[in-house]
Structure 1
């Protein structure tokens, strides 16, 4: 309902020069208030300038930067782009309302807030007449376009797009301003059920939901090209840029995207002479923020699909799909056609059994009785343990570098790899990629080592021990355990006779000389080394016979010393290592290290590590925005901030961390975006195709999943956190190809849609997968008992759960708040009784992995103060848990635990 109408002329942007004022800001704005929104529309262009939830000051649009975005070629809400062809013509004619703006012709309102003919700003197109109106539907805002064919023959519209502009501009803002003013948006490219969610960077407050109006299916998501101006830096690490909602995409599929398999089949819209088509978008408020998105979609009649455990499905697990719709499901099919066997388990609940012969992207099409069509995007992988095995083999064979005459002393090692050339990356102008440090260079060996922690191989560990005890010592300054930025560098005088490639531009800042590469002042580099040592310690502790060069105690000590080197200070107490006091990726490993130090009674060392971490956590607790970074905005530091603020019970900072992670980690029916913590600039530093774009399953997915899953374990009713967290956890599984190569990320631009060919910084994300991997049993208010990473028999107060995650050493029983973990072998199944508070475990050993005589078992109640005790005879307390022997004949053991 329209409550208030007024016309205002603002002098806010009076200083905008005429040549930069294509929008006509000098003519002022029309301001409106509805039940849910306050909004401003530019009078001259009738594009949306400001959109705030009613009663609040937070603006989803960059109104405060509008003066910098008033030029021709800069896109705004209310713009339209299109391509069409006439009759039997083969070429497409393009139209774009932003390119050469002219004041639009105001039309009678007829109940709308504003209405206009767009002829002037689309160069008076002779074949299409386009009018635009802004309307109110119930409490929502509607943007509506009417397209009319003026030609005497049929017009085929092969592209129709609506540019979306939100306040994701970080340029020139402090961290506090970004957190207070900016928002992030992500798509669900799901046809008639598609939508875009817009959430404040803080993760708090209402979210904005953009949904289709009438027959405005969400077929494509196209990145928009704009000129980059200094004031905002379009397409930079401070401003990713914008995208448009595409209703039809055939014109691009036939041209720029012709070598790509799109998210959805490309279509066009046929308009007969004189025919009109009305399309548009609806803007709604999810007052409960991200957790209220599904309810908002249901309110406006959009079908909602919920996948359990998500949309990345290993071949040995059955997935569930729950559909909520006002209309009956008529049919479900997949592309490729044999990808899933789909069965109806109950009303609107379907089981999806993946076909063993299908691997990779799958599109599931749901057809409804009201003619709506929804696409749900899946990715089928090999079984989790098989993916890990493939990665271990590939990294220690194809990526294993043995040239001991290398002047940079990089052999033997697991090197960064180029899947396009199928060769190690031995030279790159970003020298760290070829220099075994930084994320882009350390990622390869980090993934290889973390695979051994999960599923050890004697042959692979032998190679990695050799790497650690020879090559890695070149990365580390032996005297103080500091970590170099790279051991490869560009410095011809320092390596006489070495032939640097003449095809590479060695003149950029990234081509460090020897002195620059030897710098040890980047804190992020240290955590990769700490993780490597810690993983080897845990391997040796659980499988003592697999270490041959050093005992597990040596690796535990090395990890601790590297932490102390990271935290060292000068005489004044100032940190020597840059960024040591901000959150670092992979910091969960330092938490695991601290836990193990106490378990091993290394109390003095543990206390020192704890004091270092406490100092940082208390600093963060005093900061309004404790997520520091090398970049203007980042999703890296939240993992460490969450871990240590939780560890030291600093609840205010813990809350900030979980909120902001939820704000940039969507959960949608799309394998690429579900659980995908936002990243958009890291391919500049670790990928082969270097550009700013929304990255799919960069390492942020796996690491931020650790935050969400840890939060869920303490709040087992927060299903949103589990869904988003498990989606992020499974992300790194999809990065691994059928031979075992792990890619840095997937390119989201519609002209590409493929994995990057560099291994780059994949390793940190894989670490997140390994540390977070577990079978999660949860009770959903709508769906009942569900399992993520396994399968369940029985759904009352008790049930038998078969573990099916990639690692199979953890099970979290949500109804009991109990985390079960072992350090060797696997958990095959868990039987629990919620009412009696009992658990029965069936442990075994994984095929292809060395057997061990015993495992250490830990039982941790994450919610409440109760505890569990093992009641099976002959099980002794050990390292803060219990030492569980495996049966000498079949490697299987069974035991029981009961709640105290």
Structure 2
């Protein structure tokens, strides 16, 4: 039997390694046999500025390398790939794309990358480092004269395009873009190599205030910032899908910075509301205009804002961010040398903004209120004419969003068809929001099979909803799910694989199933249409946290509430959560070496075992998890997955490293998260942890594409906010809260939770499949909290609550859906409730006294169970280490007096 298991394990490893190798070689497939046209044989030009060494291909004068002086061996660009990327239509930094209006009214596209030819070098003098006429590498019918200059001005590297109209008639330019080509090609690299060599980059698509930040994967070192210099507002961010390099999990692809985009808005992007209003321009006969970008360096990720202010670039800070629940009294702080001339709201009535009159260390303060659900933007015009756009997503109050989500899952997605052949009766099944129908078949077995992230996501979301806003009728349905579908169905209930979790309970075996079982409209010829043997395999560890989380939630409901759960007692649920956790490294050892999505739940289970005095189980679980953490401690970058690079293992790796005191490894992990989880004034990118391939596995519109608030947002916010509570740092709070609210930003007005939002300007909408949204909501449910802090620039602030400052009193009314956690940063005070809810916190600045007010009792919560990280003089009974507070029909007030 052991030999058989080893053979199965070897086979699984072989499959993963083979798949990974195929992905890693995929980048070259479309280009390796193409003719070399970039002209590398002619050599290179190398020049220096105050901050960079710039290397250019002599023949094309495109960028072959960009090295910061502080790290002279590091190249922000994919210069290491020159000899394979020297082909037509492969974009480089220094290329330009544009569209002009033809005589028949259509748009014609031009690019310096389409057909490479040697450019004409121009003389240099003064601040000009290199210059060229690009006419040779553009089609003969191009009517414009375009020259490119690399310059140094005031120590800054400038890339400028001079565009002239030599004709006797005006020319309308409907699109103008500069490809942003940096080294995001991960092909063939180990995790150590990617974190040493590669970068990711994030766009703030904010008009004249826009920028791109380019960061090393390690999160360490300097950050490259690309800023508009002249006539280059950041209007749109277009994926360059005509680049023949194959996009895959090792290559997200190339995008371009667009300053004009109307030619696309009226064609490929027709009827899609863009982040900014699309524009075009008319170049008069004989007219010349310059379009320029500049490149500067910030000292690190947390210093980006400082560098922008230093460069007199507009800076915006939104509190609590740019996902805006309607009941939040939000704030916006603006910093720019010129005063604001006016602020327009688009569409009208979406947002209400008022200046408060305060000025905090150069930041003008505004109040912002969400008025209508949906996407909205502020267009700020400063007195010098500069324009800044800030995109918001207005949502319902968090409690309403969560209640809507629960109702949708337990009604529209509740599958109760009797005698389902695959045993899925009484479950929350995947859903197609476009067709308004449940998904009972899909070529990806897991989508219809209630397992893996893409299939388990819906029932996981339904379970996590009960953790923060339990509803009796919903809990009753979920009890049926556990007894009839999960235990003994999705999860083995007996035999050698007991507590193992199947990859799917839907499978494709037409020869063994009744005729008509499978639809002939579904393509079942792919690798993902697993047969029963493949579907029954318990060897994928990522399925175990979903199941463990379900049991853990039901344990909490049974233990701390009365009358909500009646099918099993609390100990049955906690034991099953424990057994699932310890089964994972035994039955799924290869995948278990990696950090798991939602792996935080194992730590929560351990703490509850400890609270309950179940020392033997707690010791066994802690030992099993320490083995994993010790392995991660031995690695430089311990957060891989079966993918060459991933952004999901970091959550669990950080949490266990933090728990076991492996602080160096926790810091390495945190820095890596900050490299791919930006802070910027745009709801879609603020706190959005990078994910770009999971639409393939959990989406309806299947493609490689930067996903907007996929589950990386909610999950990566967990370690970021834990790090903040360890050591309050305002930057971490902005990152973590952006991810936390981002996790619920895509839920529709009727409660559908989609896999993610599509970032391509041709789409800009949610995906229509529920898919793997559940892990995202897991992140929200266990992480949502109210944070109260005092910032040196902005004063008293609240994230997740409305704060009022009156004399010596600070009052905060909670607005989160859970209302069960408060972090008071000045005292590093962490308050949590296992049952009951907070209404308000009151702080007396003069005495330092804190008063908390609890909401009245409910039918199922007669007691509140209060935990905090400081000793109190409270004459209250304790249960499992929590203060047991008897609630009444009125609010309960507790004065916190610390020992």
Is TM > 0.5 for Structure 1 vs Structure 2?
yes
2:268·2:762 contact (CA, 8 Å) conserved in 1? yes
Aligned to 2:570: 552
1:644-677: CA deviations, max 9, x gaps? 0000000110110100000000011000000000
CA gap of 1:46–1:605, structure 2 versus 1, over 3 A, is same
1:594-648: CA deviations, max 9, x gaps? 1111111111111111111111111111111101201111000000110000000
Between the aligned partners of 1:236 and 1:254, the Cα distance in structure 2 is 29
Residue in structure 1 matching 2:229, options 201, 213, 216: 213
1:837·1:898 contact (CA, 8 Å) conserved in 2? no
2:704 equivalent to 1:688: no
2:711 equivalent to 1:712: no
CA gap of 1:217–1:715, structure 2 versus 1, over 3 A, is same
2:790·2:796 contact (CA, 8 Å) conserved in 1? yes
Residues 740-759 of structure 1 correspond to what in structure 2 (within 5 A)?
A: 740-759=751-770
Residue in structure 1 matching 2:467, options 437, 442, 453: 453
Shift of 1:850: 4.5
Q: Which runs of 5+ in 1 are unaligned?
A: 1-15, 570-575, 861-866
Residue in structure 2 matching 1:503, options 482, 507, 521: 521
1:44·1:103 contact (CA, 8 Å) conserved in 2? yes
Q: Secondary structure at the match of 2:872?
A: strand
Aligned to 1:393: 407
1:132·1:144 contact (CA, 8 Å) conserved in 2? yes
Aligned to 1:42: 57
Between the aligned partners of 2:43 and 2:217, the Cα distance in structure 1 is 29
1:404·1:410 contact (CA, 8 Å) conserved in 2? no
Between the aligned partners of 1:428 and 1:18, the Cα distance in structure 2 is 36
Shift of 1:243: 0.1
Between the aligned partners of 2:34 and 2:884, the Cα distance in structure 1 is 76
Aligned to 1:27: 42
Q: Secondary structure at the match of 2:215?
A: strand
Between the aligned partners of 1:381 and 1:856, the Cα distance in structure 2 is 30
Structure 1 range deviating more: 603-612 or 786-795: 786-795
Residue in structure 1 matching 2:506, options 488, 491, 494: 488
Shift of 1:837: 4.3
Between the aligned partners of 1:141 and 1:125, the Cα distance in structure 2 is 32
Shift of 1:225: 1.7
Shift of 1:840: 0.8
CA gap of 1:539–1:456, structure 2 versus 1, over 3 A, is same
Between the aligned partners of 2:230 and 2:244, the Cα distance in structure 1 is 35
Between the aligned partners of 1:506 and 1:213, the Cα distance in structure 2 is 52
Residue in structure 2 matching 1:853, options 862, 874, 883: 862
Q: Secondary structure at the match of 2:394?
A: strand
Residue in structure 2 matching 1:303, options 306, 314, 318: 314
1:520·1:577 contact (CA, 8 Å) conserved in 2? no
CA gap of 1:271–1:850, structure 2 versus 1, over 3 A, is farther
Residue in structure 2 matching 1:55, options 58, 70, 93: 70
2:203 equivalent to 1:191: no
Residue in structure 2 matching 1:133, options 146, 149, 170: 149
Shift of 1:17: 10
Aligned to 1:81: 97
Aligned to 1:204: 220
Structure 1 range deviating more: 123-132 or 247-256: 123-132
Residues 724-803 of structure 1 correspond to what in structure 2 (within 5 A)?
A: 724-794=735-805, 799-803=810-814
Residues 641-656 of structure 1 correspond to what in structure 2 (within 5 A)?
A: 641-656=653-668
2:837·2:864 contact (CA, 8 Å) conserved in 1? no
2:872 equivalent to 1:869: yes
CA gap of 1:413–1:126, structure 2 versus 1, over 3 A, is closer
Residue in structure 1 matching 2:333, options 318, 322, 332: 322
Q: Secondary structure at the match of 1:567?
A: helix
Shift of 1:784: 1.8
Shift of 1:736: 0.7
2:32·2:84 contact (CA, 8 Å) conserved in 1? no
Aligned residues: 858
Aligned to 1:605: 617
With normalisation by structure 2, the TM-score equals: 0.94
Residues 315-354 of structure 1 correspond to what in structure 2 (within 5 A)?
A: 315-345=326-356, 346-347=358-359, 348-354=364-370
Between the aligned partners of 2:155 and 2:797, the Cα distance in structure 1 is 35
Shift of 1:733: 1.4
Shift of 1:226: 3.9
Between the aligned partners of 1:568 and 1:835, the Cα distance in structure 2 is 56
2:442 equivalent to 1:443: no
Residue in structure 1 matching 2:195, options 170, 179, 182: 179
Q: Secondary structure at the match of 2:125?
A: coil
Aligned to 2:268: 256
CA gap of 1:845–1:120, structure 2 versus 1, over 3 A, is farther
1:35-60: CA deviations, max 9, x gaps? 21122111000011111110312211
Shift of 1:715: 1.4
Aligned to 1:896: 895
2:893 equivalent to 1:879: no
Aligned to 1:239: 251
Between the aligned partners of 1:586 and 1:796, the Cα distance in structure 2 is 43
Shift of 1:117: 0.6
1:126·1:150 contact (CA, 8 Å) conserved in 2? no
Between the aligned partners of 1:797 and 1:786, the Cα distance in structure 2 is 15
Between the aligned partners of 1:435 and 1:835, the Cα distance in structure 2 is 59
CA gap of 1:296–1:539, structure 2 versus 1, over 3 A, is same
Between the aligned partners of 2:841 and 2:716, the Cα distance in structure 1 is 27
2:124 equivalent to 1:109: yes
2:830 equivalent to 1:815: no
Shift of 1:125: 4.3
With normalisation by structure 1, the TM-score equals: 0.94
Shift of 1:832: 2.4
1:352-377: CA deviations, max 9, x gaps? 1221xx11100111110000110000
Between the aligned partners of 1:599 and 1:271, the Cα distance in structure 2 is 72
Residue in structure 1 matching 2:549, options 531, 536, 546: 531
Shift of 1:697: 0.3
Between the aligned partners of 1:292 and 1:774, the Cα distance in structure 2 is 26
Between the aligned partners of 1:461 and 1:297, the Cα distance in structure 2 is 50
CA gap of 1:509–1:19, structure 2 versus 1, over 3 A, is closer
1:870·1:896 contact (CA, 8 Å) conserved in 2? no
Structure 1 range deviating more: 189-198 or 781-790: 781-790
